C-alpha cells in the first residue's frame, strides 16, 4: 500500500492528523493535504482556499485576498494526481510562474486525484471536462522564457536556501587564549561553522541544529535576537511600536505561568541526544508551534498588558501614571518578566523570510522603508481576519489555544514527576503514570489539530529585515553565536528545454507532472550555480535538511563556563597536572565531548 492510501487508512483509525503523521513517519502538512484531497478533513481556511481556487484564482491571488503566505495557501490545496500517480512536490508549487501555468492549462480547476486522465491524440479532455488550450499554453510558455532573465534579476521573494556562517563570539580575546585555541582546539580563526539550510527552516528547528553543530545538549535556556541596530530601528525605542510587532517578529514575554515555550522538549533516554537533535531539525516538520508564537495570542497579551498599565492601580504606580502609549523600551524594564525578554524573536519565523544576503539588503536596510511595509502587512492581515471571522469564532480558538498551553505545561510537570518520582503520582492521584501521560498526549494532539491554523497560519507575512542574527544560549555560561547570511539561493522552476511547440497535450501534461523535480538555482548575483551545488541544493530543498560545509575548531560542551571556561578546559587537559587532566577529560566525555574533529558533511 502506498503512502497516500496508508494515510487515509491510518487517519480513519486514529482520527488525528499528528498521530497519523507520527505513525507513518511523514509530516502533518502532508497528511492534511491528503485528507483535504479525499474530503476527509476541512476547516474554514481550507474551504475558503478551495472556493477561490475553483473560481480561477492563482495561489498568489488567493494569498493576497486571504492575506496568507503563499506556502500556507499551498498547504490547503489538494494534491493533483499525474498520469503515473506522481504527486507534485511542495517546493515545486511554490513557483508563481508555475502556478500561472496551471491556471492556463487546467482552466483554474482543482483536478480530483481519483479521476483518470484521458489519453487521446489531441488530449482534449482532462478530469471534469476542462479543455487544454495548447496555443494559449505555448504562448504563455514562450512569454515566460522571454521574461526569465528579468524575473530572476528582480526576484524579491523569500530565499529558497541560504548559506549561513555561525561563529561563537569570544568577548575577551587575548593572544594567549587564541594560541591555546589554535594549538589544542584545532581552530584557525575561531570556532566557526558554515551551513547550507533550506529557506523554510524555522528558528525553532535552527536552535536544535545549532546545538548539534557546537556540541551542546539543549540543557539551558536560549533565544534568537536581531542586531541591536535593527531592533532599535524597528521599535524606535517605543513600547507601543514594539508591541505592534509582537507576534509578527517578537514574542511577548510570558513569564513562567503555563508557558508552553518548551512544548516539544520531549527527549528521553531511548535514543542518543545527537539522534534526538537530528530528528528535531530535519525534514521541515509541520508540528503546531508554541501558542506564544502566534500573532493572535500576542495581540491578546499586549491588550491585557496595556489595560494593566492604563487601568490597574499597581501598573499606574510602577509607571507613575504614564499611559502605555507613552512608555519607552527602557520603561518596560521596570517589570522584569517583560523588560528583560523584549528582544526574543518568535521561533515559528522561517529563516528565508527573515534574512537577506549580506550586502544585498538594498531598500530593506532602510528600516523606515521596512516599517512602512510591515505596518501595511499587519493592517491588511487584521482587515482580512475581521472580514473572515466573527469575534465568537476567534474567541473559540483563543480558548482552545489557552487550553492547549495549559495541557502542555501540565504534561511537562507530570512527565518530570513520573521520571523522578513515579510513586508520587500513584500516591497523590491514584493513577498509573504511563496511563495518565497517554491520556494527556491524546488530548494535546487533538487540540494541536484544532489549533494548527490559529497558531501556525493566522499570522501576518513579514519582510526580510536583517543579514545577521544572534543566538544566545545558557545565560550563565553566556554563549553567543553570530549568524550571518553569506549567500542566498532562489530556485527557478521554469528552466527546462522541453519542446513545447511540437508536443501534443498528452506529452505536455506528462512533462509538467515530472519537470518540477529539477529546479535550477541562482545565487544572489543571479548567476546559475555549478552542477555540484545544484545537486546539493536540490537535496537540501527536497529533504528539508541542512548540510554543514565548513568547520573551524572543535566542538564545545555544556557547563564548561562559556568561551573563557572552554579555553581553561583546553589548557587543563593538555597541562602537566595529570590527575586534573584525567578528571576533566572524564567529565568532558560524560558531557558528550570527544576531542575529535568531524568532517563538515558529518556534523549534521
d(CA 129, CA 107): 10
Domain count, the chain: 2
Residues 6+ apart with CB under 8 A from 363: 369
82 and 19 in a common domain = yes
DSSP string, 487-509: EEEEEES------TTT--HHHHH
106 band by pLDDT with thresholds 50, 70 and 90: very low
Domain that holds residue 62: 3-157+494-517
122-131, 138-147, 221-230: range with lowest mean pLDDT: 122-131
Please provide residue 272's backbone torsions phi and psi, each rounded to the nearest 5 degrees.
-75, 155
The conformational region for residue 283 under phi > 0 = left, psi -120 to 50 = alpha, else beta, is left
d(CA 18, CA 446): 8
User: What mean pLDDT comes out for the span 282-290?
Assistant: 79
Contact 489, 547 (CB under 8 A): no
249 and 128 in a common domain = no
71 band by pLDDT with thresholds 50, 70 and 90: low
d(CA 289, CA 271): 23
510 pLDDT above the threshold of 70: no
131 pLDDT above the threshold of 80: no
Closest-CA residue to 288 (of 32, 80, 552): 32
Residue 256 is predicted with a pLDDT of: 61
User: What mean pLDDT comes out for the span 577-595?
Assistant: 93
Share of the chain above pLDDT 90, in %: 49
Query: Whole-number mean pLDDT of the chain?
Result: 82
User: What mean pLDDT comes out for the span 537-542?
Assistant: 89
Residue 200 domain flag: no
Q: Helix 562-573 and helix 175-184: axis angle, to 10°? A: 60
Residue 218 domain flag: no
117 pLDDT above the threshold of 60: no
340 and 250 in a common domain = yes
d(CA 316, CA 93): 52
505 and 419 in a common domain = no
299-338 pLDDT, tens digit per residue, is 999 999 999 999 999 999 999 999 999 999 999 988 877 8
d(CA 587, CA 426): 36
Residue 310 is predicted with a pLDDT of: 95
509 and 429 in a common domain = no
120 pLDDT above the threshold of 60: no
237 and 370 in a common domain = yes
Residue 265 domain flag: yes
22 and 142 in a common domain = yes
Residue 362 is predicted with a pLDDT of: 66
Q: Where are the beta strands (DSSP E) in 103-236?
A: 161-168, 192-198, 222-225
Residue 1 is predicted with a pLDDT of: 54
414-456 pLDDT, tens digit per residue, is 888 888 888 998 988 889 988 998 999 999 988 998 899 999 9
441 and 393 in a common domain = yes
> Which pTM was predicted?
0.74
Residue 77 is predicted with a pLDDT of: 80
Residue 545 is predicted with a pLDDT of: 92
d(CA 322, CA 244): 18
User: What mean pLDDT comes out for the span 165-182?
Assistant: 94
Residue 576 domain flag: no
Residue 76 domain flag: yes
Residue 42 is predicted with a pLDDT of: 82
Amino acid at each position: 500500500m502506498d503512502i497516500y492510501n496508508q494515510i487515509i487508512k491510518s487517519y480513519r483509525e486514529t482520527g488525528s492528523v499528528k498521530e497519523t503523521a507520527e505513525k507513518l513517519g511523514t509530516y502533518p502538512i502532508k497528511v492534511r493535504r491528503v485528507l483535504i484531497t479525499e474530503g476527509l478533513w476541512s476547516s474554514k481556511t481550507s474551504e475558503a482556499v478551495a472556493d477561490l481556487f475553483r473560481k480561477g484564482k492563482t495561489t498568489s491571488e488567493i494569498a493576497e485576498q486571504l492575506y496568507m503566505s503563499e506556502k500556507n495557501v499551498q498547504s490547503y490545496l489538494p494534491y493533483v494526481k499525474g498520469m503515473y500517480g506522481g504527486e507534485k512536490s511542495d517546493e515545486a508549487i511554490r513557483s508563481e510562474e508555475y502556478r500561472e501555468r496551471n491556471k492556463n492549462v487546467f482552466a483554474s480547476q482543482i483536478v480530483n486525484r481519483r479521476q483518470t486522465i484521458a489519453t487521446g491524440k489531441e488530449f482534449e479532455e482532462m478530469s471534469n471536462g476542462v479543455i487544454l488550450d495548447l496555443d494559449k499554453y505555448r504562448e504563455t510558455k514562450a512569454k515566460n522564457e522571454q521574461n526569465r532573465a528579468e524575473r530572476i534579476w528582480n526576484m524579491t521573494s523569500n530565499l529558497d536556501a541560504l548559506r549561513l556562517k555561525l561563529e561563537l563570539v569570544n568577548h575577551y580575546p587575548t593572544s594567549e587564549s587564541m594560541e591555546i585555541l589554535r594549538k589544542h582546539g584545532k581552530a584557525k580563526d575561531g570556532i566557526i561553522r558554515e551551513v547550507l539550510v533550506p529557506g523554510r527552516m524555522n528558528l525553532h528547528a535552527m536552535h536544535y541544529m545549532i546545538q548539534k553543530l557546537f556540541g551542546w545538549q539543549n540543557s539551558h535556556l536560549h533565544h534568537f535576537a536581531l542586531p541591536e541596530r535593527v531592533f532599535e530601528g524597528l521599535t524606535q525605542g517605543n513600547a507601543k511600536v514594539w508591541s505592534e510587532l509582537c507576534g509578527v517578529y517578537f514574542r511577548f514575554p510570558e513569564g513562567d505561568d503555563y508557558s508552553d515555550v518548551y512544548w516539544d522538549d520531549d527527549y528521553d533516554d531511548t535514543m542518543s541526544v545527537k539522534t534526538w537533535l537530528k530528528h528535531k531539525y530535519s525534514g521541515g516538520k509541520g508540528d503546531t508551534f508554541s501558542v506564544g508564537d502566534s500573532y493572535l495570542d500576542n495581540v491578546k497579551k499586549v491588550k491585557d498588558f496595556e489595560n494593566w498599565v492604563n487601568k490597574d492601580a499597581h501598573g499606574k504606580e510602577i509607571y507613575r501614571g504614564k499611559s502605555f502609549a507613552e512608555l519607552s523600551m527602557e520603561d518596560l524594564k521596570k517589570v522584569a518578566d517583560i523588560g528583560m525578554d523584549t528582544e526574543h524573536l518568535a521561533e515559528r519565523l522561517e529563516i528565508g523570510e527573515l534574512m537577506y544576503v549580506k550586502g544585498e539588503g538594498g531598500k530593506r536596510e532602510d528600516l523606515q522603508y521596512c516599517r512602512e511595509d510591515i505596518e501595511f502587512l499587519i493592517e491588511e492581515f487584521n482587515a482580512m481576519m475581521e472580514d473572515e471571522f466573527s469575534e465568537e469564532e476567534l474567541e473559540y480558538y483563543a480558548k482552545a489555544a489557552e487550553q492547549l498551553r495549559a495541557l502542555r505545561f501540565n504534561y511537562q510537570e507530570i512527565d518530570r514527576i513520573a521520571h523522578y518520582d513515579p510513586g508520587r503520582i500513584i500516591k497523590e492521584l491514584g493513577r498509573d503514570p504511563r496511563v495518565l501521560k497517554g491520556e494527556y498526549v491524546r488530548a494535546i494532539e487533538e487540540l494541536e489539530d484544532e489549533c494548527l491554523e490559529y497558531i501556525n497560519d493566522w499570522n501576518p507575512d513579514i519582510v526580510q529585515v536583517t543579514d545577521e542574527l544572534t543566538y544566545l544560549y545558557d545565560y550563565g555560561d553566556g554563549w553567543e553565536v553570530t549568524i550571518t547570511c553569506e549567500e542566498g539561493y532562489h530556485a527557478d522552476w521554469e528552466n527546462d528545454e522541453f519542446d513545447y511547440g511540437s508536443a501534443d497535450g498528452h506529452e505536455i501534461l506528462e512533462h509538467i507532472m515530472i519537470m518540477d523535480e529539477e529546479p535550477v538555482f541562482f545565487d544572489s548575483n543571479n548567476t546559475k550555480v555549478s552542477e555540484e551545488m545544484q545537486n546539493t541544493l536540490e537535496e537540501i530543498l527536497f529533504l528539508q535538511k541542512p548540510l554543514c560545509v565548513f568547520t573551524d575548531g572543535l566542538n564545545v560542551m555544556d557547563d564548561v563556563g562559556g568561551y573563557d571556561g572552554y579555553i581553561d578546559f583546553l589548557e587543563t587537559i593538555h597541562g602537566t597536572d595529570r590527575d586534573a587532566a584525567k578528571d576533566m577529560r572524564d567529565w568532558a566525555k560524560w558531557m558528550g565531548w570527544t576531542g575529535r574533529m568531524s568532517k563538515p558533511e558529518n556534523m549534521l
